[in-house]
Every structure is written in structure tokens, then in C-alpha cells.
Amino acid sequence: MPLEREVLLKRALHIVNSGEKENVTIRLIGGAAIAAIAQEGTKLFPRTYKDFDYFGLSSQRKQITEFLQREGLEPDKRFNALHGYNRLLFYDVELNVNVDVFLDEFVMCHKLYLKDRLKTYFPTIPPSDLLLTKMQIINLTENDKKDIAALLYDFKVSDRDYDHELNAKYIAELLSDDWGFYKTFTINHERMLEFLNNIKEDHKKRILDNLNVIMKAIEDRPKSLRWKLRAKVGEKVKWYEEPEEVKSAGGGI
């Protein structure tokens, strides 16, 4: 069942803020994260929300579990025993939703190592990483496109993740060593251009300009030998993973 945006954010941000007070590093990820930091954009591109997810550190696995239990979330003990090295699953009794906590790395269609980046931004993972978690999805949904548009409407493209700035240099550097991720990103870039065809011109220009600046930074960045070797193989070999869905409520980020 869809959740009201304000109800979702109140609960999600309360947990992030409470964690900070208890020295538990936990950050929002996914659509709820974008709603929290790109408020103008999410009003222009409203979507439905079914849940919220977090990112944390594996070194704090025990502290995260104990903290979330104090906040009224029930751990899925079987799932956590099997997958707890990089992912934990909880049930939020208050909102009646499942909650994922990714640890150290975000693994879906592609892999993002975020362990060393959590301290650089609050209350979400860094904006450039938020964009990458969306642009790595091989089967991009309407909600994903709205999230990307909302983020790029509110944020200026720069060379750092700070306040309302998004780090294109970091994105370009990461994709210059990973042809598969680069391939999916470029496919989704084209999908976003199609999506923007139906957007009002005064809303579209800012997003389109940001998309093009990011894409130019990616294309201009020298590619690694690893990237070039994989590019020669191309689409003959699948370049992405198709993650198994674990959320009974429909999942996604």
C-alpha cells in the first residue's frame, strides 16, 4: 500500500537523526532519500512510495540491528543470518513495511562501494551515488525516471557532493573503469531524454542541461585498459546482473 510522502519522510529521517545521536552511521537511500533532499523536484515529479531503505557499515552490523530494534523495527532473522554480511532486512511495525539496510556496498544490476563515502553527506548517501543507484537499473521504472528528474532538477552539477551539488567528476571516474556500468548508464541517459520529451520546457531545460554535463564528463574521461578490453566484448556477454527481489511488498529502491 502506498505511503504518504510526509509520513514516510518523518519516520525515515527520525531514524537517521536518532542514529547520528547514538553514533550509528545510517543514511537514507532510494526514492525516499531523493524525496528528502530534492523537495522541489519531487513536487514537480510526484510518485508513490511503498517503503524506505538505508545504507550502513558492516562494522556496525550489531549496533545497527540493536538500534533499529529499539526504534521498533523487527529483524528478519533468517534473511539476516544468510545475507547479513552485506544486507539486512527489517519490518517496520509502525508503517507496516519492509526495510532494507545495505552494508558497505550496494549490489543490484551493478556494484557501488560506498563504505568510505557515508561521512561525506547527510541524511542520505551522497547525491552522485544516489544518481548512480538509479542509473544502474537495467529495467528503469516510471518512478525511477521521476526520481532521476527530481534529483537533477534540484541539484547543480559540480565536482563535489555538497548541499545541493552533485559530483560529476566522481561519476565519470567510476564509469571510466567499468564498461558494464557505463553501458547501462548511457542506455538510461537515452531513456531519460525520451522521458523529458513530455515535460514542460521550463522544467525540462535544467534537467537536460545537467544530464548533458554529466554525460560529457563521462565521455571525456580517459578510459582504463579494463574498460577498453570489456568494451571489445560488448553486448555479446551480459554486462549487468538481474538481482533477485527479496521484498514481499514489491521492493525496489
- pLDDT value, residue 247: 41
**Tens-place pLDDT, residues 148-192:** 999 999 999 999 999 999 999 999 999 999 999 999 999 999 999
pLDDT, tens digit (0-9, with 9 covering 90-100), for 229-239: 999 999 999 99
Among candidates 123, 236, 130, 139, which has minimal Cα distance to 179?
Answer: 236
pTM of the model: 0.93
Domain boundaries, the chain: 5-236
How far CA 185 is from CA of 131, 175, 176, in Å, comes to 10, 9, 12
Tell me the one-letter amino acid at 47. R
Cα 53–Cα 24–Cα 104 angle in degrees, nearest 5 = 55
Cβ-proximal residues to 72 (8 Å cutoff; 6+ apart), any chain? 92, 93, 94
CA 86 to chain centre: 16
Alpha-carbon distance 245 to 64, whole Å? 22
State residue 249's pLDDT score: 31
Low-confidence spans in the chain with pLDDT less than 50 = 245-251
Confidence at residue 180, expressed as pLDDT on a 0 to 100 scale: 98
